[in-house]
Structure 1
């Protein structure tokens, strides 16, 4: 029952991520034709092993309050985010954890990613494709602004982390995911593919 409930919550959150940007008035134009070609990498699943306890953080960041230490995923393990709570930021901040040399992701691309979402208020994981072992696919112009800011302009194959303000996430909160108004969210995202 827990697995079914968690899967339903994850599906709801993905839908919410996709629908949150529908109210956006951003009229972005498509990227150049050089970036219009599809780009993918070979990974077809998300590693679900526990994060490496002994791994050094790839990113340590002090927020307006609290701090985070982010461990990058490996071929067999999911990423980890340790939070000194409550963690909050005044400005959305993106950090490349593992660079790559794939195609540059357009801001309107449809991407395939593995991701982990953590609430800065209490350090809880509210969504994780790593736990499901399957990547998610969605258009970047259909997600919350902070998710788009984290991925657009990155290279396919890269792993990034983002600490996003409530305004770039869920300004009014998302009770189904345990997200309250004003919560800072942290995502670790592996960019597996992109298609413009």
Structure 2
């Protein structure tokens, strides 16, 4: 038996599976889920295994919160200020300045649309303290809630500095689409 407390998105890596729940309790700060074994394929729900375990499907299909986003490119010149756009407003814990976040993200260059980084391509989210990131993330993520998706358009001054600053992305305006999976 295992117990899970918190945002169910952490259990959503296998969308073809059904979470077989013995107990589902609203614990105020999320959901406590008590399950026997693990998840099983949806076509095996409400069956008995060879070991005698009965899988009871209460209809809670685990589906991904998000997939890798497609980025719509704006027309016109790049902005000189940070642009924050909530694409999906989350309803979980809120990211705070200097806090630690777990995110999935994709980053592209504003002018060319070339993707330069993506946690989605690596197949796993990443966790880090905001204080160690570029200023656009430090300013653009606080206030975001778990379960949300936010687009940040970050000018060079809040990214990697002016052209010639020594980073391959210096002098470039960047677009990030960020899915907030956890915040503390």
TM-score range, shorter chain: 0.5 to 0.7
In the alignment, what sits opposite 2:146?
Answer: 156
**Number of equivalences:** 127
- Alpha-carbon displacement from aligned partner over 1:77-122 (angstroms, at most 9, x marks no partner): 3101143688521111101110112122111111000000001121
- Alpha-carbon displacement from aligned partner over 1:131-187 (angstroms, at most 9, x marks no partner): 112001100111001012221111122110000110110002622xxx2x3210000
In the alignment, what sits opposite 1:90?
Answer: 80
Q: Secondary structure at the match of 1:186?
A: strand
In the alignment, what sits opposite 1:193?
Answer: 182
TM-score (norm 2): 0.61
Q: Find the structure with the greater CA-based Rg.
A: 2
Q: Where in structure 1 are there 5+ consecutive unaligned residues?
A: 1-38, 48-73
- Preserved CA contact (<8 Å) 2:65 2:147: no
Distance in 1 between residues matched to 2:105 and 2:141, nearest whole Å: 11
Q: Secondary structure at the match of 2:104?
A: strand
- Preserved CA contact (<8 Å) 2:103 2:127: yes
Distance in 1 between residues matched to 2:179 and 2:77, nearest whole Å: 22
Query: Please, which of 126, 132, 139 is the counterpart of residue 136 of structure 1?
Result: 126
Q: How does 1:49-64 map to 2 (within 5 A)?
A: none
Cα deviation, residue 41, structure 1: 2.7
**Whose helix proportion is higher, 1 or 2?**
1
Is the alpha carbon distance of 1:169 and 1:40 closer, same or farther for their aligned partners in structure 2, counting shifts above 3 Å?
A: farther
Q: Where in structure 2 are there 5+ consecutive unaligned residues?
A: 14-63
